[in-house]
Amino acid sequence: MKKTTTRLADGRELIYYDSRAAPARTAPDRRPLDPVSTASEIRHDRLLGDAVAIASHRQGRTYHPPADECPLCPSRAGRLSEIPEADYDVVVFENRFPSLAGDSGRCEVVCFTPDHDASFADLTPAQAALVLDAWTDRTAALSQLPQVAQVFCFENRGAEIGVTLGHPHGQIYAYPFTTPRTERMLASLAAHREATGGRNLFDDVLADERAAGRRIVLEGDHWTAFVPYAAHWPYEVHLYPRRRVPDLTALDDAARTEFPQVYLELLRRFDRIFDEGDGRGPRTPGAARTPYIAAWHQAPVRAADRAEFALHLELFTIRRTPGKLKFLAGSESGMNVFINDVPPEAAAERLREVASK
């Protein structure tokens, strides 16, 4: 991997991650940009104990621009974008409209490919491996910032999810606190350890799923993907490395090498599950891509028991059947009690049916 760090016209950091054969990245940002002005503030809900980011400056962020005005495509004559170069492999840069900034954390954008019409599932294994390298490098760097407590790498895909830029990209949030979701996992982890005389909850969940087999979607030598027993979403898959590690930086070479093949296969199955074809061949031309969220769960940076936490990726779609979405209605939004219309065993079976030949 070749890494080149530079600055945009408004002072934001931009990092190119390239294959070793890539040319030098020296193009300057020629846009007349004013310095970024943010108004990010963290407020705490006294009843729930949650943290809420108040970020009023985000009201003016770019919203569904035409493809020829995409800010994530490479720059070209007459059209300057967030990426000054005419081409790139993977790029990470500070978000121009961050939810978190300064003492309140940091937000970054990760562009997976210069191809505006592609998706992560269209990447080659080598390209996907480079994205993993970028996630890992940014996790390491952001974890060193004194105001950062947890690093969250994720991708939202599809207008149904709320994505406002169609170019294939993800984000990284560096939170100044441990997120509520992770706090609940840590509490469950501690309770399980106490109740079982020291056993690890993540290890037991993975072992139980592998033993049962009914909800396994696919297995490699170093990764296991399964639909969880109490899945919240109609189609939800959790991807675990076989060897428990707290974050992306701790993955060994074998797991890193196998990850692209396993993850790309999962994403391609997600694109097939609602396809009206036979489910095993390429996507039907013109078929809609499945909207999804892919979220890396990593241990908080300074948690006392971070070695007990298990890195894992959660992949889910809000689509429950062709043409129908799973909306968060009264029970989910009002009380955080999910109601799933698709049995996890049926979801796992469907995801096995659409495996690549």
Longest CA pairwise span in the chain (Å): 66
Domain end (from 175, 200, 222): 175
Domain end (from 132, 150, 175): 175
**CA-closest candidate to residue 179, choices 80, 303, 332:** 303
- The pLDDT tens digits for 76-97 are 988 999 999 999 999 999 999 9
For the whole prediction, is pTM greater than 0.85?
yes
The pLDDT assigned to 281 comes to: 44
Sheet architecture: strand order including 106-111: 2-7, 13-18, 90-94, 106-111, 169-175, 150-157, 292-297, 312-317, 235-241, 223-226, 216-219
Confidence category of residue 64, pLDDT binned at 50, 70, 90: low
Q: Please say if the pLDDT value at position 279 is more than 50.
A: no
CATH number at residue 205: 3.30.428.10
Confidence category of residue 63, pLDDT binned at 50, 70, 90: low
Inter-CA distances, 293 with 197, 237, 277, 346, Å? 35, 11, 24, 20
Domain count, the chain: 2
Please state, rounded to an integer, the average pLDDT across all residues of the chain: 92
- The pLDDT tens digits for 204-245 are 999 999 999 999 999 999 999 999 999 999 999 999 999 999
Segments forming the whole domain that contains residue 113: 2-175
The pLDDT assigned to 4 comes to: 96
**Please, are residues 157 and 163 in contact by the beta-carbon 8 Å criterion?**
yes
Q: Tell me which of 44, 57, 116, 169 is the catalytic residue.
A: 169
The pLDDT assigned to 21 comes to: 79
- Domain shared by 317 and 279, yes or no: yes
- Domain shared by 15 and 162, yes or no: yes
Q: Is 169 a catalytic residue?
A: yes
